Amino acid sequence: CKENCTGNINLIKDVQHFTEHIKISELPQEVESALPFHVEPRNIVDDDPQERVSAEAAILNSRVHYYGRLTGSSDRLLSPPNHVIPGPEEIYVYSPLGTAFKVSGTDHTSRNPSIITIFAIWNTMMGTSILSIPWGIKQAGFTLGILILIFTGLLMLYCCYIVLKSRKAIPYVDTSDWEFPDVCRYYFGKFGQWSSLFFSMVSLIGAMVVYWVLMSNFLFNTGQFIYNYAHNVNMSYSEFGTNGSDKVICPYPNTDPEGNSTISTLYIGNSGNDTDVNSFEHWWSKTNTVPLYLIILLLPLLCFRSASFFARFTFLGTISVVYLITLVTIKAVHLGFHLEFHWFDTTQFYVPEFRLFFPQLTGVLTLAFFIHNCIITLMKSNRHQENNVRDLSVAYLLVGLTYLYVGVLIFAAFPSPPLFKDCIEPNFLDNFPSSDVMVFVARTFLLFQMITVYPLLGYLVRVQMMGQIFGSHYPSFFHVLSLNILIVGAGVLMAKFYPNIGSIIRFSGATCGLALVFVFPALVHMISLKRQGMLRWPSALFHSFLIVLGMANLLAQFFM
């Protein structure tokens, strides 16, 4: 019946065309009601009796309809070429419901002005690594940290620039819908395709694990705040921190073996009812139970077939970052600056300006400035393509300034005399107690934002992995469910046993940065220059040095 039914519909359509084209001014009522839909003749744009459809347009329409029946829908053999189609100002779109409107004369792909592109890049790059920048600066030393941030930013900007250029340098092939993994496949064959996929997965799954740890953290703190607020529990004496209204705490103080033990750790028991609080702590633990509660919420979300619903919430990310910047500013104003410059020696409260742990900062920054696997797609919608390099540089500058601002302010405002600079946590929000209202709001924002981004990341992982291995984006519910269980399991295990997001970020950043930021772009650039015969030895030296830097970055993560 299916065959017959479509055939019949086509027959009706053909009859409809026939009656339209031959000569119609009005049809008798009974015939009108029998037709599937009836378009009033010709002039339905305004009341002018003059026909608006020109003879050429009518015959072109007839040809396009007819030729369209002669080939498959994807076959372009008989599609009208551009010089045959009238200009956009002459085209009207007729709807069967009896209206006509003009096609707006814009390009097929919507193009954005520079400012939107810059904002999109900034928004995409701003991730949770912003929480780890103060810790990274602390690990590298204040001065060295700032220098490294600027240097790494410039280096990654250059690598991003050569990624962007790489697609254009491929001759004779239509690369208009290629992304960087496709470029790798062109130069390195299957190996290039699979390895760029693998490293891309590393960055995505690394991000998802970090998200799980952070979500458990924020959920825990939010629950803690609400419980304490409801039960009027005062936790201030159980934590080691400053006194006063803007409390900053040191969650894991290690007694300095060299220094005086004048500051003793204060672990005063809770003033509240012991058994109540203890049972709450038993059921609401940051590492034991909260990560598991998240499974109930997030595993179903991961199994959705399409992620477009979650893409609507990207604005939450922007709000969170803006709120974090405001929070940091206010805290810095209240706490004041506490900076002392000890260049190479270790003191009790401060860290040296130059430290040997600086690779940890470079690892974090490699993930913080990472956008190389989607920069081509983001730049495609830029209205003035000749400004791509300028817009990219401005975006990197803004991102660098944001990170620098947050990092420097938190580091500088960290109240060092009672506390140690070494206390700055990989997630700087951990340095504020769960009773702090402003930080509670920040945690809640970030929690919501991460809950909406997590399924998006899961969707990206699923699409790329399932697409490459099984050929379809959703092979079956069980395939997708097993993948999701693996990812969620990794997150839960990390949250339970090793919730140090600084380490997770720096290892995954250095790994995926090795391939997608340093090695592949440099190699691709050198090979394309060589093929054009334009490879000079300073350029070759510099790009080889980039590759060495990338490898050193990864190796140093294991040793420092």
Partner 1 sequence: MKTIIHQLCVTSYLYDELIIPSTPSKADVLLMGKSGSGKTSMRSIIFANYIARDTRRLGATIDVEHSHVRFLGNLVLNLWDCGGQDTFMENYFTSQRDNIFRNVEVLIYVFDVESRELEKDMHYYQSCLEAILQNSPDAKVFCLVHKMDLVQEDQRDLIFKEREEDLKRLSRPLACTCFRTSIWDETLYKAWSSIVYQLIPNVQQLETNLRNFAQIIEADEVLLFERATFLVISHYQCKEQRDAHRFEKISNIIKQFKLSCSKLAASFQSMEVRNSNFAAFIDVFTSNTYVMVIMSDPSIPSAATLINIRNARKHFEKLERVDGPKHSLHMRMR
Q: Which of 202, 286, 271 is nearest to 236 (CA)?
A: 271
Q: Residue 49 CB, nearest distance to partner 1 (Å)?
A: 14
How far is it, in rounded angstroms, from Cα 359 to Cα 381? Answer: 35
DSSP 177: T
Question: Inter-axis angle of helices 142-166 and 388-413, to 10 degrees?
Answer: 160
> Residue 429: how many CB atoms within 10 A of its CB?
21
Phi-psi region of 382 (alpha: psi -120 to 50; beta: other; left: phi over 0): beta
User: What is the smallest separation between the CB atom of 382 and partner 1, expressed in angstroms?
Assistant: 32
CB of 108 to partner 1, least distance (A): 21
Q: Using CB atoms within 10 A of its CB, is residue 57 exposed (0-12), middle (13-18) or buried (19+)?
A: middle
Q: Least distance (Å) from partner 1 to the CB of residue 26?
A: 7
Q: How many CB atoms neighbour CB 405 within 10 A? A: 16
| Least distance (Å) between residue 107 CB and partner 1 | 23
User: Is residue 180 a contact partner of residue 516, using CB atoms and an 8 Å limit?
Assistant: yes
- CB closer to partner 1, 71 vs 532: 71
Report how far residue 183's alpha carbon sits from residue 169's, in angstroms, rounded to the nearest whole number. 10
Q: What residues have CB less than 8 Å from 409, skipping those under 6 apart?
A: 328, 329, 331, 332
151 in Cβ contact with 400 (< 8 Å): no
- Of 43 and 242, the one with the shorter C-beta distance to partner 1 is 43
Instruction: Return the axis-axis angle of helices 290-302 and 437-469, rounded to nearest 10°.
Output: 50
Nearest residue (CB) to partner 1, 63 versus 383: 63
Nearest to partner 1 of 83, 312 (CB atom): 83
The C-alpha atoms of residue 440 and residue 345 are separated, in whole angstroms, by: 36
CB-CB contact of 39 with 24 (8 Å)? no
* CB nearer partner 1, residue 21 or residue 531: 21
Q: Whose Cβ is closer to partner 1: residue 18's or residue 172's?
A: 18
75/274 with CB nearer partner 1: 75
Nearer to partner 1, 8 or 346 (CB): 8
**Residue 550 in contact with residue 519, Cβ under 8 Å?**
yes
- Nearer Cβ to partner 1 (63/102): 63
Residues at the interface with partner 1 (CB under 8 A):
3-4, 6-8, 10-11, 14-15, 17-19, 21-28, 31, 55, 58-60, 62-63, 65-67, 69-72, 74-75, 77-78, 80-81, 83-84
What CA–CA distance (Å, rounded) separates 504 from 560? 14
Among 454, 467, 472, 383, smallest CA distance to 181 is for 467
Give min distance, CB of 467 to partner 1, in A: 24
C-beta closer to partner 1: residue 56 or 340: 56
Q: Which is nearer to partner 1, 78 or 555 (CB)?
A: 78
Alpha helix (H) residue ranges in 234-374: 274-283, 290-302, 308-311, 314-335, 358-368
Task: Fill in the amino acid letter for 466.
Answer: M
Long-range CB contacts for residues 397-402, cutoff 8 Å, separation at least 24: 398/118, 398/122, 399/121, 399/122, 399/125, 399/126, 399/153, 399/368, 399/369, 400/149, 400/150, 400/153, 400/369, 402/122, 402/126, 402/130, 402/321, 402/325
Task: Using the minimum distance from each CB to partner 1, give the nearer residue, 6 or 306.
Answer: 6
Minimum gap (Å) between residue 40 Cβ and partner 1: 14
Two structure tokens written together for 426? 């990989």
Residue written as token pair 């990794």: 490
Tell me how far, at minimum, the Cβ of 65 lies from partner 1, in Å.
Answer: 7
Min separation Cβ 69 and partner 1, Å: 5
Shortest Cβ 91–partner 1 spacing (Å) = 16
In the complex, the smallest distance separating the C-beta of residue 33 from partner 1, rounded to whole angstroms, is 14
> Least distance from C-beta 81 to partner 1, angstroms?
7
